[in-house]
């Protein structure tokens, strides 16, 4: 048995998925970053509200509520982004390839350029043309 966090994983499963430990460590780090973002976001929002000369929401409980909600939203975003990185790592560890970019907006943000023959999400390259080399400009 292999320990993975608080649970145990059978040796056969761990042998079938050699990147399981790295993925678990990545997810653990993602959750810790999310927790740190919650604490920092809540503290920063509450501190900023306390320092402002005018009180937008003067009762103390409303300032705490706004700070906690802001920290929660920031924490959710950080955890979402970091967990997506871990998912990409898992796909890479299992297949040896980086995951295909099915989101066109994210692809555009990363510098991907749509080419003639693209068949939409899930089919980033036409069968006739090989994918471009990493770092090559189109």
Ranges of beta strands (E only) in the chain are 2-4, 7-9
4: enclosing H helix or E strand: strand 2-4
Does some domain include residue 125? no
Residue 90 lies in a domain: yes
Q: What is the mean pLDDT of residues 58-79?
A: 91
Cβ atoms of 86 and 23 closer than 8 Å: yes
Q: Name which residue leads in pLDDT, 33 or 105.
A: 33
34 falls within a domain:
yes
Average pLDDT over residues 132-138: 54
Residue 3 pairs with which residues in a beta bridge?
8
Confidence label for 136 from pLDDT (cuts 50, 70 and 90): low
Dump pLDDT digits (tens) for 4-47: 665 676 767 767 777 778 888 898 999 999 999 999 999 999 99
Residue found by looking up tokens 């955890």 in the block: 79
Whether the predicted model's global pTM rises above the 0.85 cut: no
Asked whether residue 123 is assigned to any structural domain, the reply reads: no
Count how many Cα atoms sit within 13 Å of the Cα of residue 26 in the half-sphere of its side chain: 18
Contact 122, 102 (CB under 8 A): yes
Per the structure, the count of domains in the chain is 1
Domain boundaries, position 61:
2-99
Per-residue pLDDT, 101: 63
Asked if residue 85 has pLDDT above 70, the reply is yes
117 inside domain: no
Q: Does the residue 8 lie in any domain?
A: yes
The residue among 92, 108, 126 whose CA lies nearest residue 22 is 92
The reply to whether 28 falls in a domain is yes
Q: Is residue 51 part of a domain?
A: yes
């Amino acid at each position: 048995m292999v320990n993975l966090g608080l649970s145990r994983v059978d040796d056969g499963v761990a042998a079938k998925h050699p990147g399981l430990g790295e993925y678990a460590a990545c997810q653990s780090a993602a959750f810790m970053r999310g927790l740190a973002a919650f604490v920092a976001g809540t503290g920063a929002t509450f501190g900023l509200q306390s320092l402002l000369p005018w009180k937008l929401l003067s009762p103390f409980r409303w300032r705490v509520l706004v700070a906690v909600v802001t920290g929660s939203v920031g924490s959710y975003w950080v955890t979402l982004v970091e967990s997506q990185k871990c998912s990409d790592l898992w796909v890479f560890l299992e297949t040896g390839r980086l995951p295909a970019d099915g989101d066109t907006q994210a692809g555009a943000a990363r510098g991907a350029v749509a080419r003639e023959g693209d068949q939409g999400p899930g089919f980033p390259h036409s069968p006739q043309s090989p994918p471009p080399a990493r770092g090559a400009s189109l």
